[in-house]
Chain A
Amino acid sequence: MLIVLLMVLPLICAGLIVFNPRAQAKYIATGASLVSVVIAAAALLQFDFGQTAMDQLAVSLPWVPALGLELSLGVDSVSLLLIALTVLLGPICVIGSFTAVKEDVKTYYAWLLILQSAMIGVFAARDLVLFYICFEFTLIPMYVLISLYGSSNRKKAATKFFLYTFTGSVVALAGFVYVVWYHASLPGSSWTFDMVALGESARLMSPGQQGWVLLALLAGFAVKVPLFPVHTWLPLAHTEAPTAGSVILAGVLLKLGTYGIYKFALPYAPEAVVEYAPLIGALSVIGIVYAGLICWVQTDVKKLVAYSSVSHLGFCVLGLVAINSVGVAGSVLYMISHGFSTGALFLMIGMMYERYHTRSMREVGGLGSKMPIWSSFMVFFVMASVGLPGLNGFVSEIMCLMGTFQAYGWTGEGGAAPGGTLGTLGPWFAFFAGTGMIVAAMYLLIMTGKMVWGTYREPDGHHASSDGHDELPTDLSRREIGLLIPLAAGCLLFGLYPKPLLSAIEAPVNETVAFFEGVVPEPQPGIETVANESGSVGAGDADASGEGAD
C-alpha cells in the first residue's frame, strides 16, 4: 500500500494545486514531496532486504483482463532504493524552484508532482505494460516542463527529447510483446504481462530470438541512458530544461534506461547479452571518452555537466554488461550515486544561473571570493563526480571498472578462465574506460578552476539588471544550503561507508548475475554466485540450445 500511496499522493496533490489559488501551489507541492519522503522512509523500514523477489509492498489489481494486464506493483531492494532516490529529489526540486519559477506556477508544480508519480510507477511496476505506460508517461511532464519553463531554445529541445525517446520505446514495446507472445506460446502458459513470469520464459528463447529481443529493448533503453550514438538529445534537453527538470533528468530519468537494461535486457536475454556485450561495451567506452572530450571544450557549464552525464552513464552500462556481481552491483550503486552528485551539480549551476543569468564560463567565473559557500559546495560535488576516494563517485566507478576488468573469463566452453568471471569484456575495456576517468578529472577540474578560482568575472551589466532577483543574497541562502546538505551528506556517507547500500542490493544483483551462470553448461565452482539457483536455469538453457539446433 505504501507504494500505491507514493504514486497516488502526488497525483492527488497535483489535482489540489490545479483547484487552489496559485499562491498555495508551492506549499502544496512541498507538503506532498515531504510527506512522500516520510512514506518512502517507512517503506524502507518495512522492507526486508534479504529477499530477492519483487513481491514486497506489493499490490495487484485486475485492469484489462482481455489483454492480460494487471495493475501490479511491487519492489525489490534495487527498485525501492531508486524510488527512495526519486522521492528524495522531490522536495529538493520543488523547494529549489521557489525563486526560479515565477510564472504559471500551478502548471509547473502540478506537472512536477505528476512526473514524480510516473517515475515511481516505472520502478514499482511488475506488469510490463504498466512499466511501459509509466516509462512513456514520464515524457509528457518533462516535455511540458522543458517547453514552458526552459531557456531560449526550449521548444526544439523538448521536441527532440520527446521524439527520440518515443521512437525508441515503440520499438522496445515490440520487443516486449514478442517476449509475451513467446511466453504465451509455451505449453501451459497464458497471455500475461507479469514481468517475473515472462523472465523465466524469455530465458528459454533461442540465442537468435534473444538477440532480436535485446536489440529491440536496447532501442528503447539506450536512447534513454543515453548510449553513444543516440545521445544527441541529451545535451540539448539538459541545457534548455529548467533547473529542477535537469536535476530530475540527470537524477532519475536517465536511470530509467539503465534500470530497464538491468531489469529486462539482462534477465530476458542473457545469452544475447553475452554475445553483444563487447558491442555494447565498446559503445559505452566510446561514449565515456568521446563525451568526456566534448566536455573539455565546452564553455557552457550546464552543457558540460550534461555531457559528463553521457560519459558517466557509460560506466553504468559497462558495469551492467560485465555481468558479474561486482560490475552489476557497482552499476546499480552508480545509478544512485550519480543521482546525488550530478543532481547536485545541476542544482548548483541553477543557483548560479539565477544570480548571473548566464551559464558561459567566459562571462562568469572566479566566484570563490564572491560566493564562498557556493564555491565550497561546488568543489565538493565536483570531487564526488570526479570520483575522489572517500566520496560516492569513487566507489561505484571503481566497482564498474573492476567488474569490467574481470569480465574476460568467457571461454565459450563453460567455466571461466582463471582469475576472470564469465564475461566478454576484459582489461582493455577497463583500460579505455579508465582513460575516461582521467578525462573526467581534467574537464571537471578545469571547469572548477574557471568557475571558482581565478579573478572574479561577471557578465556585463550584471549589477544594472540585478533588480530582478532582490530576494537572492550574493551567496547561497539558507533555503539553498538546506537543499544541498542532504545531497552532500549522501555523497559523503555512500563514499565512506557504502556497505549498507551494497548489502541491500546484493541479493537481487546476485540473482540477476545467476541468470548468466545458466548460459554456460557447467558453472565452475569457486565463482561467487548463487550456485543453487543456477541449476534450474541451466536445465532450461539445455532446452533452448536444443531448440536452436532444430
Chain B
Amino acid sequence: MAEKLASLWPEITLFVATCVVMVVGLSPNQAARRMCPLLTGLALAAAGILALGTGQDAKGLMPGMMPYAKAVIAFVGVLLTMLLVGVVDRFEEQAIERGDAAFDPGRSTRGEFFAFFLFSMTGLMLCASADSLIWLFLALELTSLPTYVMVAMSSARQKSKEAGVKYFFLGAMGAAVFLYGFALIYGGTGSVHMTGIRDALAAQSLDGGLNPIALAGFVVALVGIGFKIASVPMHFYAADVYQGAASPVSAMLAFVPKTAGFLAIILLCASLGWRFGESGSQLPEAVRVTLWVMAALTMFVGNVLAWLQTSVKRMLAYSSVAHSGYMLVGVIVGPGDSFTESGIAAVLFYLLAYGIMNTGGFAIVSALETRRAAVTDTGELIHDEADDINAFRGLCRTSPVLGWSMVLCALSLLGFPLTLGFFGKLPLFTAGISAGEIPLVLVLGINSAIAAFYYLRLVALPLFEHAGDEAELYTETPTNARRVAGLISAGGVLVLTVFASPLMDAAFDATGVSPAPEPGLAEQPTPLLEERSALAD
C-alpha cells in the first residue's frame, strides 16, 4: 500500500496545487489571482519531474508505464496551461484593473477554472497508475467531469453552454456503456484487479476458452471508452463540442480525455493479453475485429469529414478523430520485442508527438481573435475566435511567428518527413507491418494521404496567400502565453526529432506487460488477490 502511495506523488502534488489554486483564484489581490496559471504550470512541471523520479509500480500490470505516461502528460499539460491563460474573466479583470468595477468573488471563475483543469490532469495521471477497474473508472470520470464544466464556462457564448450540455450527456452515456462493460468483465473473471483479470483469463484460455461474458465485457468497454478517444461510433460530439468550447479548452479536450482513453484501452487490452490468434500474438478475435473496424472507420470518417470542413476548429476536431484511428492501429498490434515491432510503444510515442503538435495547432487558433468585441445575449463582451479558415490567410507575413508555427504544426500533423509527426507515424507503420496487419497499414497510409488534402490548406493559406479583407477582421490575442505555446510546439516538432531515439527508448521501456503466472501457480494467487481487493474496498 505504501509502495503504491509512493508512486502517486505526482497526483498528490497536483491535488494539493488544485486546492491552492482554488483559494488563490478568489484572492482580493489581483496580482495573486494572476498567479493561478503560473501555479498550475509549476505544479504540472513538478509532477512531471516527480513522475520521472518515483519509478515504476512493480506489482502493476504494466509496471513501466507510469513514469513515461505521467511525464508526457505533465509536459503537454504545461503547454495546455499556457493556452488556458485568459480564457475566463478576461474582461472582468480588465475592468477591475481600470478601476471600473470591484472584485466580486461570487462571479470570479478563474480559480475554479484552473482548479478544474488540475483535477482533470490528476485524473489523467491516475489513469496511468490504475491497477483495478474501479480505480480506472474513477480516474476516467475524474478526468472527464471537470472538462464538462470547463467547456460550458469557457466562453460567454450560448454555444459553449450547449456544447457543455451535449458533451455531458453523451459523456455520461459513454461512461454508462464502459461501466457496463467493466461489470461484465468482473462477472466473467471474478476480479476487478487488472492482474487478477489477467490471471483469470489466462486460466480460462487454458481451460477451454475465454468466458464469453468477459469477452463481451471487453468489447462493450472498449466501445464505451471510444467516447473518450472520439473514435467511431462515439465520435459524433467531437466537432460540435470542440467548436462550441473556446479553442484552448478544445485543445485540452483533444489531448486529455483522449490520452486517458488510450491508457485505459492499453491497460484493458494488456489484461486480456496479445496472445491469441494463429500467430499467438493477437487479441482475441472478437476484440480484435471490434478494434479493427473501429480503427479503420475512425481513420476514414475523421479524415473525410475533416476534409469537408471550412471551420478550423471543426477540421482539427475531425482530424483528432483520425489521429485516434492511427493510434488504434498500434493497440491492435500490441507489444513487441523491440521498439520497431511494438505497437504499444508506437502509441505511447505518438501520444507525445500528437500532444505537442495538436496543442500547437490549437494554440495558433486561440492566439487569433476578432478585432472588434461582440456583445452576447447576456450583455457580456466577447472576442470571437478565429474559427474561419480565412483568418489564417497570409499569416506568415502579418505575424511570422504564428504563421510559421501553424505551418510546422500542420506539416507535423500530416506526418511530413523531418517533423515529429513523421517519426510518430513511422513506428505505427513498422509495428503494423511486423504484426502482419498489412491491410490496416495500407488504410493508415491512404488516410495519411487524405489528411494531406486538408492539412495542406493550413500550410498554403498562411504561407502563400495575401491577407485579404477576411483576415483583416482578426488580430492577435493580448495573451502572450498562447503565442509562446505555439512557438514551443512548433520548435518541439523539429527539435524533438533530434532526441527521437531516447524518447522512443523511453516509450518502449514503458510497454512491458507483466506476464501471467505459470499455469500451475495460477490457482494460488487468485484468492490472495481477492482478499487484497476486499481489503482495498
Contacts and interface: CB of A to CB of B under 8 A. Distances in A.
Interface of A: 63-68, 129, 132-133, 136-137, 140, 144, 147-148, 155, 158-159, 162-163, 166-167, 170-171, 173-174, 177-178, 180-181, 184-185, 191
B453 interface: yes
B340 A148 contact: no
B338 A191 contact: yes
A67 B449 CA distance: 23
Given A67-B426, A133-B418, A163 B339 contact: no
Interface string B426-441: 1101100110001001
Interface string B477-521: 000000000000000000000001110110010000000000000
A-B pairs with lowest CB-CB distance, top 8 = A66-B504, A167-B449, A133-B417, A170-B445, A147-B464, A136-B417, A66-B501, A64-B501
A66 B508 contact: yes
A316 to B, nearest CB: 26
Given A167-B452, A173-B445, A181 B434 contact: yes
Given A68-B340, A167-B449, A173-B429, A178 B438 contact: yes
A177 B429 contact: yes
A174 B339 contact: no
Contacts of A66: 339-340, 500-502, 504-505, 508
Given A67-B339, A67-B427, A140-B411, 20 more contacts: A63-B501, A66-B339, A66-B508, A67-B340, A129-B426, A140-B416, A144-B463, A148-B464, A163-B453, A166-B449, A171-B446, A174-B433, A174-B438, A174-B445, A177-B430, A178-B433, A181-B430, A181-B434, A184-B434, A191-B341
Contact residues of A: prevailing secondary structure: helix
20 contacts: A64-B504, A66-B339, A66-B501, A66-B505, A67-B339, A67-B504, A132-B417, A137-B417, A155-B460, A159-B456, A162-B456, A163-B453, A166-B449, A166-B452, A174-B442, A177-B426, A177-B433, A178-B433, A191-B340, A191-B341
A431 to B, nearest CB: 38
Nearest to A191: B340
With a 10 A CB-CB cut-off, give which of B416, B430, B438 has the most chain A CB atoms. B430
A129 B445 CA distance: 16
Nearest to B415: A170
Given A66-B505, A174-B441, A147 B460 contact: yes
With a 10 A CB-CB cut-off, give which of A136, A158, A162, A166 has the most chain B CB atoms. A166
Given A144-B463, A173-B445, A174-B445, A67 B429 contact: no
B324 interface: no
B339 A181 contact: no
A178 B429 CA distance: 9
A173 B427 CA distance: 12
Contacts of B218: none
Contact of B430 (A63, A65, A163, A180): A180
B429 A64 contact: no
B117 interface: no
Nearest to B507: A66
Given A129-B426, A133-B422, A167-B452, A181 B433 contact: yes
A67 B453 contact: no
A396 to B, nearest CB: 32
Nearest to A185: B434
B425 to A, nearest CB: 9
A503 to B, nearest CB: 36
B448 interface: yes
